[in-house]
Structure 1
Amino acid sequence: MLQPSTLKFLKDLSKNNNKPWFDAHRKQYDDAKKDFETFIQVVIDKHGLKDETIREQEAKKSMFRINRDVRFSKDKSPYKNNMGASIKRGGRKSIFAGYYIHLEPGQSFVGGGIWMPMPTEMKKVRQEIDYCYDEFKKIVQAKKFTTIYGDLYKEEGIGLSRVPQGFEKDNPAAEYLKLKSWIAMQSVKDTELTVKDLVKKTLVAFETLQPMIQFINRSLDSAE
Structure 2
Amino acid sequence: MADRTPGRDRTDRADRGGHPPRRRSSTRPAERTRRAEPTRAAAYHLLRAVEEGAYANLELPKLLRRSHLAGRDAAFTTELAFGTLRHRAFYDAVIAVAADRPITAIDGRVLDVLRLGAHQLLAMRVPDHAAVDQTVGLARAVVSQGAGGFVNAVLRRISEGDRESWLVRVRPPGGVAALALEYSHPEWVVTALRGALVGHGPPPRRSTINSKRSCALTTTRPGSRSSRGPD
Which structure is higher in strand share? 1
With normalisation by structure 2, the TM-score equals: 0.22
Q: Radius of gyration: which is bigger?
A: 2
Which structure is higher in helix share? 2
With normalisation by structure 1, the TM-score equals: 0.23
